[in-house]
Amino acid sequence: MASLWSFLFLLSSFSMFACFSSVSSEENDIAITPINRDLYHSSSDLLEQINSLVHRHPDKLTMETIANGNKGYQAEMTVVTYSRSSIKDGDDRSKFRILLSFGQHGRELVTTELALRILSILSEEQFLPNVDRDAFNSTLDKLVIKMVPVENLNGRKLVEQGDLCERRNGRGVDLNRNWSVDWGKKEKDYDPYEENPGTAPFSEPETQTMRRLALSFDPHVWINVHSGMEALFMPYDHKNTTPEGSASQKMRSLLNRVNKDHCYDRCMVGSGGGSVGYLAHGTATDYMYDVVKVPMAFTFEMYGDSTASAKDCFKMFNPIDHATFNRVLNDWSAAFFEIFKTGPNHMDEAHSKAAASGQEKFVSIDEYLDGYLMERKNRYGKKIEVLDLGMQEIRTYFRLFLLSSVLLLFMFCSRISKSMSSRPIVSALPL
């Protein structure tokens, strides 16, 4: 009998081992698609290509690299500006201003390739099919476009080193959860690997730089470009609603047009929080709309492979074959130029819309100083170290100035009050 029990125990143990081995084997058998180096540039090569493009077209493009850091963590960000005439005459404010960000999540390589393609078209080294060149140039004359081709450079480098599912920055923070609107709230399915919001709003150098850029540039249109699905999102991400009134109607109308003409009705259209299936807190687009008061703030999701395994991240977020790669870049390049063409027609409406709704741009002292110094740097070419080394001192002096002004005003009012109380009271009698 004992031997029978021993035999059954061994048999059950062997069965369990075989079962777990089978599951483990199936997991290990999942093919992980590597980065297709024939289609995708490395981050250093991509930035070098952009740098060469800028140097070949100084009449249209300028470029700056902004370094920032805290607590030993350093981050660099390249910003490319497209403008046909304001580079010479310095008049950016009279034009329609568009701010674009790509590569906020490291694993979404296709977004940065789209940035390079758009810059190539803007510089006229590549062309959109069936486009009237005179009309094209007339449209671009009205624009100033600032583009961040790779917002999350440190995270991108981790992906290139083999961590193909990494979306966060170089110290594990999701840059699209690090903004101040509804920051830090966690849903029931919160995954720190995917959505770590950082230790505080704007704790990360990358989001600090983007905030300064947005406040100084004051864009009419903001577009944050991602991959993972096909979608055209407007605010809000942190709640299942869209803004009220004509602002929402204008945004939705523009997105519906882009969806029909360039996404061929495949894209989801609506608020991120209402369409994607989960709420996202502390996102860039919600901040741009609520705080910077950008009239048209969007998040575009340009590609996703729903058949890919959750572990096969490169395939899930990026086209892997030449034909799909080119189709995606061509379709979305045309979509962006639809925005470029349509946007200036809304410029007067955008200004009157903000005035009519009372949407004044109230920002904190820190945000004002960040934006102010960044604007001076852009205009006069001062070095970025002014921002990093002098910011805290300037804030301190500014606060002391405000405090001393309030105290002096209080002392002055008190003196006036005492002086008035010491005078004899004269009654006013009717004549």
- Domain at 217, CATH number: 3.40.630.10
Same domain, 349 and 390: no
For the chain, the C-alpha Rg in angstroms (whole number) is 27
Q: What is the pLDDT of residues 70-116, one digit of tens each?
A: 999 999 999 999 998 644 455 567 899 999 999 999 999 999 999 99
Tokens describing residue 206: 């990358």
**CB of 336 within 8 A of CB of 118?**
yes
What total number of domains does the chain contain? 2
Catalytic residue among 301, 360, 385, 393: 301
pLDDT at 47 over 50: yes
Global pTM reads: 0.79
pLDDT at 397 over 80: no
Same domain, 180 and 325: yes
pLDDT of residue 129: 86
pLDDT of residue 422: 52
Reply yes or no on whether 301 is catalytic.
Answer: yes
Same domain, 151 and 189: yes
- On whether residue 102 sits in a domain, the answer given is yes
Q: pLDDT above 70 covers what percent of the chain? A: 72
Q: How confident is the model at residue 302 (pLDDT cuts 50, 70, 90)?
A: very high
Same domain, 80 and 161: yes
Same domain, 291 and 396: no
- On whether residue 30 sits in a domain, the answer given is no
State which residues form the domain around 283: 43-358
Could you write out the three-class secondary structure of 144-201?
Answer: EEEEECCCCHHHHHHHHCCCCCCCCCCCCCCHHHCCCCCCCCCCCCCCHHHHCCCCCC
pLDDT at 156 over 50: yes
Q: pLDDT above 90 covers what percent of the chain? A: 61
Same domain, 181 and 64: yes
